[in-house]
Amino acid sequence: MSSLFINEEQLASMVEAARPVAAQGTVASYIPALSEADPNHFGCVIYNGSDTIKAGETDALFTLQSVSKILSLALALIDQGEDTVFSKVGMEPTGDPFYTVQALEEEKPSKPLNPMINAGALVVTSLLPGKTESEKISRFLTFIRELTGNPSIAVCEKTAASEKEHADLNRALCYFMKSHDVLKEDVEMILNVYIKQCSILLNCEDLARIGSIIGNNGVDPASKKSIMPPHIAKIVTTFMITCGMYNESGSFAIKAGIPTKSGVSGALLSGLKNGTGIGVYSPPLDNKGNSAAGIHFLESLSNVYNLSIF
């Protein structure tokens, strides 16, 4: 008997019910490598440390993209502490899209509103442990390997190179913040680390494993090893609720109420409070940059199995 709230057959039928919604979305193309994703792929893995169930194309590999923002935040908080991190980036949600520039100009003193918008995530990348690009990315990769229990996790260099050629908006955000002393480091170095953290390649099971640890107060539910302190898992979970789906966070909190972080690859990582992680992948995005069918699926799953934390 599985200890999960759902069995594999039930999961398969929910995945099939959500699949057609992908037709309402569009695969991201502003990073050209992302446009090569198969729009028909839809995968979901649910894991709680003892049981794993899968449905759909769960072998598909994709990049972390903005899902990396909760994980870089966790590592920066572990390394630098709350006071330092939140002196450079705020805690407030924004109704603006993830690439917003406007809010930076309005805040006095200038600091990004939260670590989930690109400006805030770029500042968090500057706070990752290590001084050089290779030190920072290798510390981050080590953290992701610990969280997933997957030692072969690596950067997709092709996606990174593709993003690098189309990174002028993120570059502009960095220079704006540098001119306001929010960012002190070399802009190209920070941009390279950020692009690589976004280009880490994984699958739905890796996402579900990370979600189970976040949901389980930072403790790996299988090995019982603490990967992040409980207060940091709590901060990360709170940001997932308030800012994890950008300017769709409010409606998703009402309709699903599951702490979730999205990425433009079509990835969704959710962590439930009982230490159950959910990894979803479906590349076509809605107009807010979140996986269209993935959101529909999580909302239905939450309604049927009563998963809202509220």
Query: Can residue 170 be called a binding residue for ligand DON (CB under 6 A)?
Result: yes
Query: Can residue 260 be called a binding residue for ligand DON (CB under 6 A)?
Result: no
Among residues 93, 263, 279, 294, which is the contact residue for ligand DON, using CB under 6 A? 263
Q: How far is the CB of 191 from ligand DON (least distance, A)?
A: 10
Query: Can residue 203 be called a binding residue for ligand DON (CB under 6 A)?
Result: no
Q: How far is the CB of 185 from ligand DON (least distance, A)?
A: 17
Residue 281 annotated as lining a ligand binding site: no
Query: Can residue 192 be called a binding residue for ligand DON (CB under 6 A)?
Result: no
Query: Can residue 283 be called a binding residue for ligand DON (CB under 6 A)?
Result: no
Place of tokens 């409606």: 251
Q: For residue 239, count other CB atoms closer than 10 A to its CB.
A: 23
Number of residues that bind ligand DON (CB under 6 A): 12
Query: Can residue 159 be called a binding residue for ligand DON (CB under 6 A)?
Result: no
DSSP string, 170-219: HHHHHHHHHHTTS--S-HHHHHHHHHHHHTEEE-HHHHHHHHHHHHTTTB
Q: Which stretch binds ligand DON (CB under 6 A): 15-23, 209-217, 219-227, 261-269?
A: 261-269
Place of tokens 């997957």: 150
Enzyme catalytic residues: 66, 69, 194, 246, 264
Sign of CA dihedral 10, 254, 260, 41: positive
Q: Please, which residues have CB within 8 angstroms of residue 263's CB and are 6 or more apart in sequence?
A: 63, 64, 65, 66, 67, 68, 198
Smallest Cα–Cα separation from 294: which of 69, 67, 72, 114? 67
Residue 66 annotated as lining a ligand binding site: yes
Q: How far is the CB of 268 from ligand DON (least distance, A)?
A: 10
Q: How far is the CB of 206 from ligand DON (least distance, A)?
A: 16
Q: Please state, in angstroms and rounded to a whole number, the distance separating the CA atoms of residues 23 and 224.
A: 41
Angle between helix 133-148 and 204-215 (nearest 10):
80
CA 298 from centre of chain:
15
Among residues 198, 214, 228, 307, which is the contact residue for ligand DON, using CB under 6 A? 198
Do 139 and 130 meet the contact criterion of CB atoms below 8 Å apart? yes
Q: CA angle 252-256-262, nearest 5°?
A: 55
Residue 13 annotated as lining a ligand binding site: no
Query: Can residue 66 be called a binding residue for ligand DON (CB under 6 A)?
Result: yes
Among residues 289, 298, 301, 307, which is the contact residue for ligand DON, using CB under 6 A? 289
Residue 48 annotated as lining a ligand binding site: no
Residue 246 annotated as lining a ligand binding site: yes
Query: Can residue 248 be called a binding residue for ligand DON (CB under 6 A)?
Result: no
Helix residue ranges, H only, the chain: 8-18, 68-88, 102-106, 118-126, 133-148, 157-164, 168-179, 187-198, 204-215, 230-243, 249-255, 292-305
Site for ligand DON in 75-134 (CB under 6 A): 98, 118
Q: Which stretch binds ligand DON (CB under 6 A): 135-143, 219-227, 262-270, 292-300?
A: 262-270
Instruction: Characterize 175-200 residue by residue with b for buried, 16 or more Cβ atoms within 10 angstroms of its Cβ, and e for exposed.
Output: ebbbeeebbebebebbbbbbbbbbbb
Among residues 208, 213, 264, 301, which is the contact residue for ligand DON, using CB under 6 A? 264
Binding annotation for substrate? 66, 118, 163, 170, 194, 246, 264
Binding annotation? 66, 118, 163, 170, 194, 246, 264
Q: Residues in the site for ligand DON, rule: CB under 6 A?
A: 65-66, 98, 118, 163, 170, 198, 262-264, 289-290
